[in-house]
Amino acid sequence: MKKHDKFFLNGLWVSPDSTQVHEIINPATDEVCAEVPLANEIDCVRAIESARAAFPAWSSTTANERSDFIHKAADELLNRADELADAITLTMGCPRHICPNLQVLGSIQAFRAYADRAKTMEEIEQRKGFQVLKEPVGVCTLITPWNYPLSILIGKVAPALAAGCTMIAKPAEQTPLQDFIVAEVFEKIGLPDGVFNLLTGIGPEVGPVLCGHPEIDMVSFTGSTRAGVQITESAAPTIKRVCLELGGKSPLVITKDADLAAAVQYGVQNVMMNTGQTCSALTRILVDESVYEEAVSMAKQVAEDNIVGDPLDPQTTMGPLSSASQKSTVVNYIRKGIAEGARLVTGGEEMPTGLTQGAYLAPTIFADVNNQMNIAQEEIFGPVICMIPFRDEGHGVELANDTVYGLSSAVFAKDRESALAIARKIKAGQCFVQGANFTTDAPFGGYKRSGNGREWGEEGISEFIEIKAVLGR
Ligand code: NAI
Ligand code: MG
């Protein structure tokens, strides 16, 4: 069992002031697999002071210096890719053979991409009578969830480092282990003390300090809308910048003349990947009514082709939910869907065949869903799809946008042009047309209650920048 008993503060592994510890559970076995300390207020303040003390020197480094550190860190993360994948599989159940590609290697590549983006900080824009400069926003709190624990951390750490910010990382309670590896990597490459600080703690307990302390300039958060609201409230009295990447209920619109089999395969697998725990998952499949029944039977087949089981078995395509508590949240939604009158096509709340323990659920499809139902409006965050028929394209777009969320979306139509015409009408930060793949080169973030920032790509660094105008000749 992996036992951590120190935080990484000011370049050193430091014993916490708090004596409380937290046990991490492997969701595939329900057994304790690791232990980490839980920070108290004194520990949080130490981390904040360390990041604050490091800011003047780090923010004065050249883009080339920061870029070198980013490359060195990416090299060292690659050396430790297997350990990173082991840590993620152990704590959140992503199948081990899928984990390197889904959760680790792309993230490390994406990290490296920010080495070049550091240069943007040195661009001085000369306009008539004044200059526009870019400066790092300051000391940042980075709070991450458990579904893509490494990628989401890197999506914040990489632009923060590139911009010249210092930071405190606080991983999710369920999945802290890869963050300790990341801290070891920064220690090994000699990142200046205090630039990256790590502590573990219970969100609602450490949140008010990490998100409210006057020495914090910015909070970058990915997780639930509920926590996003609390974080914003903690940050409001001192007017911090708060960047939020929250939930979603993303639509996939399939028109009557689309390649139905390809569209359904794409949509169902998009959701079942990572056991439905992807904020941008296409969990509402909207289909033209003339091909709806055909789509439902195709979706059933694709869902049932998944092999649910032990994340260490190379045959497994879908592991457990990340925790017993997440499974019970999802089970409650499945019950709600049945009570609301949706048709359960496959899956349900029972343990998948052959499994007796662990947070497992079978891929679940609901048909005859009405967009007003709870299961169509609320983020379930599990392997559950709602299939909803529409009358014509206008109605399809209306249903797609009839949600408080707006993170992602997708369209399958007759051809690219027809799909693009629909894509332009959807209120969401991303739209995947005709089966496109995710890339960390593209800006990612939400409309409406899905959030307010953009991570990844060129845009990702702008969250960490202050703009300064210098006037006069
Ligand atoms: P959560 O939002 O409570 O946890 C995510 C992170 O926020 C963790 O690091 C947690 O410690 C921290 N946190 C929680 N409350 C906080 C507070 N008051 N101040 C500061 N930090 C705080 O999410 P939870 O409870 O684990 O999952 C609930 C639902 O949230 C899921 O069912 C899903 O719908 C959604 N979710 C969305 C994610 C996304 O990628 N957008 C990721 C994880 C969860
Ligand atoms: Mg929570």
Q: What is the pLDDT of residues 234-251, one digit of tens each?
A: 999 999 999 999 999 999
What does the pLDDT look like over 167-197, one tens digit per residue? 999 999 999 999 999 999 999 999 999 999 9
Q: What is the mean pLDDT of the chain?
A: 98
Domain ranges of the chain: 2-246+451-471, 251-440
Tell me the pTM.
Answer: 0.98
Q: How confident is the model at residue 202 (pLDDT cuts 50, 70, 90)?
A: very high
The answer to whether residue 473 scores a pLDDT higher than 80 is no
| CATH domain 2-246+451-471 topology | Aldehyde Dehydrogenase; Chain A, domain 1 (3.40.605)
329 lines ligand 1 (CB under 6 A): yes
Ligand 2 mean position to 203 CA, how many Å?
Answer: 7
Task: List the catalytic residues.
Answer: 245, 279
**What is the widest separation between alpha-carbon atoms in the chain?**
76
* Predicted local confidence at residue 322, as pLDDT: 98
Taking 80 as the threshold, does the pLDDT of residue 13 lie above it?
yes
Buried b (16+ CB within 10 A) or exposed e, 199-216: bbbebebbbbbbbbbeeb
Which residues lie across from 334 on neighbouring strands?
none
Cα–Cα distance list, 121 to 115, 167, 186, 454 (Å): 11, 18, 22, 18
| Residue in 222, 224, 232, 378 to alter for ligand 1 test, most ligand atoms within 8 A of Cβ | 224
Structure tokens at 194: 């205090």
Could you tell me what percent of the chain has a pLDDT over 90? 99
The CB of 446 under 6 Å from ligand 1? The reply is no
Distance CA 321, CA 318 (A): 9
Say how far residue 308 (Cα) sits from the centre of its chain.
23
- The domain defined by 251-440 folds into Aldehyde Dehydrogenase; Chain A, domain 2 (3.40.309)
Percent of the chain at pLDDT > 70 equals 100
* Nearest ligand, measured from the Cα of 280: 1
Determine the Cα–Cα distance for residues 440 and 415; give it in Å rounded to an integer.
Answer: 25
Asked if 265 and 300 touch (Cβ cutoff 8 Å), the reply is no
pLDDT at 97: 98
Q: Is the pLDDT of residue 341 over 80?
A: yes
**What is the number of the ligand closest to the CA of 149?**
1
| pLDDT at residue 289 in the model | 98
Distance CA 203, CA 256 (A): 45
